[in-house]
Structure 1
């Protein structure tokens, strides 16, 4: 082989080695690049675990958050339900309190409206004898006399209606239960010390015959069974004890 051929051969081999080296280097670079890409895609183990933990933590957080949110919502619903129940109970208590208070007010008003009637033991009776209270003996039956009833008790009482009036003779043997008029009446309340009265239409007479001379009058307050006895202050009456429509009769209280 000639020296020029040897040189060409040596150059060719050198070129081949350089090419091979270049190919090897390129392959290494390629492998390194692929390895880096895979590592970047796969991520380091530590970072992968941390990321997974973070994701799990986030997921767990979301789940716990949902549970916590559900629990919180349940608590809020329960609290809201309790608050409503409390408010309802409060309203019931207020209503009950109001009912009791209304009921307390109604009892007080009932007490006022339910004043007891006047009893004989709490009253005193007397004929009105001053001024115009004196019956006119010349009126021929068109005159009146009044009996005053006074509340001598310590509390108010109510009275109204017809009293019973029985006239009695001196010895009490001859009684005259006076008839009642047809007048309407209402009830009145007497405070302690207050008085009311009722009138008696009387037929006075000066005749010496056919007369009746009362000595006392027994006054029985309405709805009572016991009476108050007062002295008769006037003269004689026409005796009409057996008459159907006597001119001497009782008018109501109130």
Structure 2
């Protein structure tokens, strides 16, 4: 009896050991699955975050691209005189606005550019305001452009502006550093732009007394000739780095 009892106890001990070992193995496997399931979750979160960043970057890139393209069109004006000679009475060579015209047309259903023949121009804007030419503070004059055609068209960039003096002198106006944006005009629709100008009332100033102003729409060769209605004189700052008289891009008033 003693021998059989000892043998049974030994078998029970071995069986208990085997069961314990199996339990430990199962626990280890379950722990491994738990760790593995956590890692993909973190990776997916990182991927989603990265995707968001990528989309944001693409969006920002498009904006800046578009911004970087517009800024090129106005870079000469920001410096002062680089593009002023191109502006007056001739088709302005707008690197930025020309580049924008393609994407703008695509966004607006391939809308054609507005032509000088399909536009009408005049002084003023819906905001009103008349420059005071009797002081020496900077003033603003506005010019409107109306689509007289039967279909929509797009304006994008800066117009060319040349002031013709009553004494025969002329002054080509530089562009500001503002970024232009495409403007689509329906038939009968209007857009406008502003001329920031610095009057001169001092006898010792080099100045020009405006008689007429030549307005050339963006990407066009033909111009409008408008009579200057405000009198006075404008300080001639030809060659200045930051002149007080310049043009801003076309916009919707």
- Category of TM-score, reference length = shorter chain: 0.5 to 0.7
Q: Determine which structure has the larger helix proportion and give its number.
A: 1
Q: Is the 8 A contact 1:141 1:201 kept in 2?
A: no
Count, aligned residues: 145
Which residues in structure 2 correspond to 1:18-29 (within 5 Å)? Answer: none
Deviations 1:162-219 (CA, angstroms, capped at 9, x unpaired): 0000000235x31111010000121111111111100010101222342210101100
Unmatched segments (≥5 aa) in structure 2? 1-104
TM-score by length of 1: 0.52
- Structure 1 position 130, deviation (Å): 8.7
- Structure 1 position 159, deviation (Å): 0.6
Classify the secondary structure of the residue corresponding to 2:113: coil
Distance of aligned partners of 1:138 and 1:246 in 2 relative to their CA distance in 1, 3 Å threshold: same
* Two-structure CA RMSD over aligned residues (Å): 2.3
Residue 121 of structure 2 corresponds to residue 125 of structure 1: yes
Q: Is the 8 A contact 1:179 1:250 kept in 2?
A: yes
The partner residue of 1:116 within 103, 112, 118 is: 112
Write the distance in 2 (CA, Å) between the matches of 1:174 and 1:246: 18
Write the distance in 2 (CA, Å) between the matches of 1:163 and 1:248: 14
Residue 233 of structure 2 corresponds to residue 239 of structure 1: no
Write the distance in 2 (CA, Å) between the matches of 1:252 and 1:120: 17
Distance of aligned partners of 1:123 and 1:212 in 2 relative to their CA distance in 1, 3 Å threshold: same
- Per the alignment, residue 158 of structure 1 pairs with 154
Q: Is the 8 A contact 1:141 1:248 kept in 2?
A: no
Residue 141 of structure 2 corresponds to residue 175 of structure 1: no
- Structure 1 position 155, deviation (Å): 1.2
The partner residue of 2:224 within 225, 228, 231 is: 228
Classify the secondary structure of the residue corresponding to 2:117: helix
Q: Is the 8 A contact 1:167 1:217 kept in 2?
A: yes
Write the distance in 1 (CA, Å) between the matches of 2:120 and 2:238: 27
Classify the secondary structure of the residue corresponding to 1:216: strand
Which residues in structure 2 correspond to 1:13-162 (within 5 Å)? Answer: 113-128=109-124, 132-137=128-133, 140-162=136-158
Classify the secondary structure of the residue corresponding to 1:180: coil
Write the distance in 2 (CA, Å) between the matches of 1:111 and 1:237: 40
Max Rg structure: 1
- Per the alignment, residue 249 of structure 1 pairs with 246
Bigger shift: residues 110-119 or 152-161: 110-119
**Relative contact order (C-alpha < 8 Å, sep 6+): which is higher?**
2
Write the distance in 1 (CA, Å) between the matches of 2:182 and 2:189: 14
Classify the secondary structure of the residue corresponding to 1:241: coil
TM-score by length of 2: 0.53
Distance of aligned partners of 1:209 and 1:117 in 2 relative to their CA distance in 1, 3 Å threshold: same
